[in-house]
C-alpha cells in the first residue's frame, strides 16, 4: 500500500456507495485515528469527487457558490438519513435543502423506448452541469430514502466511525470488515485487561 497516497485512497468503499452516490456524498466526511477527514475540503477536491462519480464532466467548472450548495446538500442528507433510520420526522431545514436542490435543476420529461417498451424518462437540464449534478445527487437521495432499500440504511456502530451503509443482513453493524476487526480487537483487549493476573 502506498503510504504517501491521500488518506481517502485507503478508505474502503462501504456497501451501497456503488449504487447510491448520495450515500458516498454523506461519507465524504468521516473520522480516522488521527482525526476528522473531509474529502470535499475545497472546490477543487469537490470538483474531482463529482468527476470521479461521473456526475460532472471534467471540463465543467465548480464555482464557490455551487461548492457551497454541494456542502449544504451533504449537510442536509445526514440528518435525513438519521431520521429515516430512526423512523422519526426530519427537521424542516434539511428537508427544505433537499427539496430546493431538486427544484433548482428541473428535469425534462422524455419518452424513452427500450427493449422493454416505452417508458417515461426525466432528464435533468444539461445547460447547467453543476445544477444537474446536484439534482442527480438529491434525486438519488430521494430514491434511497423512499425506496425498498431504505430500511437497510444504517450508521456504522464502530467507535469513531460515522459512515452510513446499506446492511446486507439484519445482524450487520459495521460498514467494513476493518471497522468490525477494530471493534473485536478492542473487546479482546478490554477482556484481557479485566482478567486477573
State the pLDDT at residue 11: 63
The residues, ordered by sequence, that sit 6+ positions from 51 with a Cβ below 8 Å of its Cβ are: 57, 58
Per-residue pLDDT of the chain (197 residues; tens, 9 = 90+): 444 545 444 567 888 999 999 999 999 998 877 788 899 999 999 999 999 999 999 999 999 999 999 999 999 999 999 999 999 999 999 999 999 999 887 677 888 888 988 888 877 666 789 998 999 999 999 999 999 999 999 998 888 788 999 998 877 887 877 786 765 666 666 666 776 66
Q: How far apart are CA 170 and CA 186, in angstroms?
A: 23
State the pLDDT at residue 170: 78
pTM above 0.85, yes or no: no
Write down how long the chain is.
Answer: 197
List domains and CATH numbers for the chain. 7-194 (1.10.3300.10)
Amino acid at each position: 500500500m502506498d503510504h504517501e497516497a491521500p488518506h481517502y485512497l485507503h478508505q474502503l468503499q462501504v456497501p451501497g456507495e456503488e449504487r447510491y452516490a448520495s450515500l458516498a456524498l454523506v461519507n465524504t466526511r468521516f473520522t480516522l485515528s488521527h482525526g476528522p477527514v473531509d474529502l470535499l475540503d475545497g472546490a477543487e477536491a469537490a470538483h474531482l469527487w463529482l468527476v470521479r462519480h461521473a456526475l460532472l464532466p471534467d471540463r465543467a467548472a465548480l464555482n464557490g457558490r455551487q461548492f457551497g450548495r454541494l456542502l449544504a446538500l451533504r449537510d442536509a442528507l445526514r440528518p435525513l438519513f438519521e431520521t429515516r433510520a430512526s423512523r422519526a420526522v426530519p427537521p424542516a431545514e434539511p428537508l427544505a435543502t433537499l427539496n430546493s436542490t431538486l427544484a433548482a435543476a428541473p428535469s425534462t420529461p422524455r419518452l424513452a423506448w427500450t427493449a422493454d417498451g416505452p417508458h417515461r424518462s426525466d432528464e435533468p437540464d444539461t445547460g447547467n452541469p453543476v445544477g444537474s449534478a446536484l439534482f442527480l445527487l438529491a434525486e438519488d437521495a430521494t430514491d434511497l430514502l423512499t425506496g425498498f432499500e431504505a430500511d437497510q440504511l444504517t450508521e456504522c456502530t464502530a467507535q469513531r466511525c460515522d459512515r452510513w451503509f446499506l446492511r446486507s443482513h439484519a445482524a450487520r453493524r459495521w460498514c467494513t470488515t476493518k471497522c468490525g476487526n477494530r471493534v473485536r480487537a478492542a473487546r479482546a483487549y478490554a477482556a484481557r485487561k479485566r482478567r486477573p493476573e
